[in-house]
Chains A and B, each alone.
Chain A
Amino acid sequence: MSQTDEKKAPAERKIFAPVVNEETAKFWKAAEEGKLLYGWCLACNEPHYFPRSFCPFCFSTRVEWREASGEARVYSYSIMHRSPAGPYTIAYVELKEGPRVLTNLVDCDFKKIAIDAPAKLVFKPSDGGAPVPFFTLA
């Protein structure tokens, strides 16, 4: 990745307010308390993300939503240059608990972003909605 010369992700980019529905309301309520939830299936013992009312692997409804540690590592990323508000980084990070989660890597030196780099959870306000989980380099 040669052209990663920008120092900081801009904080100015407006964050879409997440559209909350009946199934996901408690995820966004937890987000307001600074907690990231993921799904855990009590039938097949598999984690999933984003959390659902059922397990997308075995289809059981015996699922509970657990709080993630916030520890992760970078699975892949791209620095988006075609952005009026300045470059930003989209990424998948792999949670310590297993699932790979779409996010942005914020508040970090773009030059230091690399696959497998450790990352940690931060929340940012959205444009009129619940806070949104992001990651930054640990």
Chain B
Amino acid sequence: MSIKGKAYVMGAFEHPTREAPDKSTPQLHVECARGALEDAGLTKDAIDGYFCAGDAPGFGAMSMADYMGLRNLRHMDSTETGGSSYILHVDHAAEAIAAGKCSVALITLAGKPRTGSGGPRGGGNAAAPEAAFEMPYGGTTHNQYAMCATRHMHEFGTTSEQLAWIKVAASHHAQWNSNAFLKDVVTVDEVLASPMIATPLHRMDCCVVTDGGGALIVTSPEIAKQLNRPKVRVIGAGEAPKGTYGGKVDLTYSGAAWSGPKAFAEAGVKPGDIKYASIYDSFTITVLMQIEDLGFCKKGEGGRFVADGNLISGVGKLPFNTDGGGLCNNHPTNRGGITKVIEAVRQLRGEAHPKVQVPNCDLALAHGTGGSLGTRHGSATLIMERE
């Protein structure tokens, strides 16, 4: 069984806040849920499936479902793969809808790492089997992703200038987004002059830290037909974990090497067909490796591919993260997966900012990496089309 054409993303909402000192995390979740419902033109009691991940406070999906008053649930899923969870949840929602387990699925993400607590830390748990063998070494997201960049540079000659182009492209998009946390256009030189965080990654190679959240409504084809919104059809998805494999560590690729081909095969399209791509951008190196692994260019050629504005909408061949992405716009609760789907939906609806809207955008991809590229992570790829 395939999910192709079995579900539609009919509601998408990104919370406009980037600093929310006066709101609770559950409150942000419910505000996102309300926004996505209003966008879809549905009401709360239509929701019969609920999806959330580690950022949802409390007891899996139970606390949030109870708090929000979701009384008609018949399907729940709190699969946790870090920042990619919400891309994976669209796939799981489509599966559940295809199997008749629900017809209106709500997915929420929210949190406040900027003004509140640090947010969820996937895997940062002393009971994890790897904990004793990793925690003494001061691993952080920064230096673990940075080791991938060091190795990629060694094997393929990738440069800091090439990585900087990814941030430059994101900043060109963010200037048009009034909600973006960082709205200034930056240059390659400015990225390279920003403080070194973890060699070879500079501060501007890293995503922003913001409060906020987002929500999605995924529905059955029957419900989608009744709604007065452009129809964004789910046509392919793939998910895959990648780890350290008992010491057979290879830092030059991500789980996208598996999740990507599964999604393309299910959708029946090729990387060259994609008009717009949301590519998870926790760091610039994350984007570069995923672009290679998804097949937009050959392995090792990502540096050349991303340079010279090739990711800038209207300029390059692969317009990416036209909201400014995690690098400039928003990385709510340190997890960017849901904003990746939201901007892809905007593009497919023709509702992105006119300065970054891709003409005739009828096929888009959203891809995420959750966890650490340098140790273990969950990859999720989603392909959607405008009907």
Q: Most chain-B CB neighbours within 10 Å: which of A38, A47, A82, A115?
A: A82
Q: Is the CB of A101 within 8 A of B247?
A: yes
Q: For the complex, what is the distance from the CA of A115 to the CA of B149, rounded to whole Å?
A: 12
Please give me the residue from chain A that is nearest to B150 by CB atom.
Answer: A76
Q: Is the CB of A90 within 8 A of B139?
A: yes
- CB contacts (< 8 Å) of B248 on chain A: these are 99-100
Q: Is the CB of B150 within 8 A of A102?
A: no
Q: For the complex, what is the distance from the CA of A41 to the CA of B246, rounded to whole Å?
A: 11
Please give me the residue from chain A that is nearest to B243 by CB atom.
Answer: A56
Q: Is the CB of B136 within 8 A of A82?
A: no
Q: Is the CB of B138 within 8 A of A88?
A: yes
Q: For the complex, what is the distance from the CA of A23 to the CA of B131, rounded to whole Å?
A: 13
Cβ 8 A contact of A115, one of B132, B150, B198: B150
- CB contacts (< 8 Å) of B157 on chain A: these are none
- CB contacts (< 8 Å) of B142 on chain A: these are 78, 80, 82
- Tell me if A24 counts as interface (CB < 8 A to partner B): yes
Q: For the complex, what is the distance from the CA of A52 to the CA of B138, rounded to whole Å?
A: 23
- CB contacts (< 8 Å) of A21 on chain B: these are 132
Given contacts A19-B126, A76-B150, contact A48 B137 (CB under 8 A): no
Q: How close is B124's CB to chain A, nearest CB, in angstroms? A: 11
Q: For the complex, what is the distance from the CA of A24 to the CA of B126, rounded to whole Å?
A: 13
Q: Is the CB of B251 within 8 A of A78?
A: no
- CB contacts (< 8 Å) of A76 on chain B: these are 147-148, 150-151, 154, 251
Q: Is the CB of A98 within 8 A of B247?
A: yes
Cβ 8 A contact of B136, one of A50, A83, A126: A126
Segment 12-29 of A: residues with Cβ below 8 Å from B: 13, 15-21, 23-24, 28
Q: For the complex, what is the distance from the CA of A76 to the CA of B132, rounded to whole Å?
A: 20
Segment 119-166 of B: residues with Cβ below 8 Å from A: 126-127, 129-140, 142-144, 146-151, 154
- Tell me if B227 counts as interface (CB < 8 A to partner A): no
- Tell me if B249 counts as interface (CB < 8 A to partner A): yes
- Tell me if A79 counts as interface (CB < 8 A to partner B): yes
> Interface 1/0s, chain B 250-271, versus A by CB < 8 A?
0100000000000000000000
> Interface 1/0s, chain A 71-104, versus B by CB < 8 A?
0000111111111000010111001001111111
Segment 167-205 of B: residues with Cβ below 8 Å from A: 195-201
Q: Is the CB of B138 within 8 A of A81?
A: no
Given contacts A76-B147, A78-B199, contact A102 B139 (CB under 8 A): yes
Q: Chain B: interface residue count, which band?
A: 35 or more
Q: For the complex, what is the distance from the CA of A76 to the CA of B197, rounded to whole Å?
A: 16
- CB contacts (< 8 Å) of B67 on chain A: these are none
Q: Most chain-B CB neighbours within 10 Å: which of A1, A28, A76, A88?
A: A76
Q: How close is B204's CB to chain A, nearest CB, in angstroms? A: 14
Q: For the complex, what is the distance from the CA of A48 to the CA of B129, rounded to whole Å?
A: 14
- Tell me if B375 counts as interface (CB < 8 A to partner A): yes
Q: Is the CB of B137 within 8 A of A104?
A: yes
Given contacts A1-B200, A3-B196, contact A83 B151 (CB under 8 A): no
- Tell me if A132 counts as interface (CB < 8 A to partner B): yes
Q: Is the CB of A78 within 8 A of B143?
A: yes
Q: For the complex, what is the distance from the CA of A19 to the CA of B249, rounded to whole Å?
A: 23
Q: How close is B157's CB to chain A, nearest CB, in angstroms? A: 13
- Tell me if B245 counts as interface (CB < 8 A to partner A): yes
Q: For the complex, what is the distance from the CA of A78 to the CA of B142, rounded to whole Å?
A: 9
Q: Is the CB of A102 within 8 A of B137?
A: yes
- CB contacts (< 8 Å) of A91 on chain B: these are 147
Given contacts A48-B246, A56-B246, A115-B151, contact A80 B136 (CB under 8 A): no
Q: Is the CB of B150 within 8 A of A77?
A: yes
25 A-B Cβ contacts within 8 A? A3-B199, A4-B199, A13-B138, A16-B136, A39-B246, A50-B133, A78-B198, A78-B200, A80-B140, A80-B143, A80-B146, A80-B198, A81-B195, A81-B197, A82-B142, A90-B147, A90-B198, A92-B147, A100-B244, A100-B248, A100-B249, A101-B247, A102-B134, A102-B137, A104-B138
Q: Which 6 A-B pairs have the closest CB atoms?
A: A99-B247, A48-B246, A78-B146, A18-B132, A49-B247, A100-B249
* B-binding residues in A (CB < 8 A): 1, 3-4, 13, 15-21, 23-24, 28, 38-39, 46-50, 52, 55-57, 75-83, 88, 90-92, 95, 98-104, 115, 126, 132
* A-binding residues in B (CB < 8 A): 126-127, 129-140, 142-144, 146-151, 154, 195-201, 244-249, 251, 375
19 other A-B residue contacts (CB within 8 Å) besides A47-B247, A80-B138, A80-B142: A18-B136, A19-B127, A19-B132, A19-B135, A23-B129, A49-B133, A50-B130, A75-B151, A76-B150, A76-B151, A78-B150, A78-B200, A82-B198, A88-B138, A90-B137, A90-B138, A102-B134, A115-B150, A126-B136
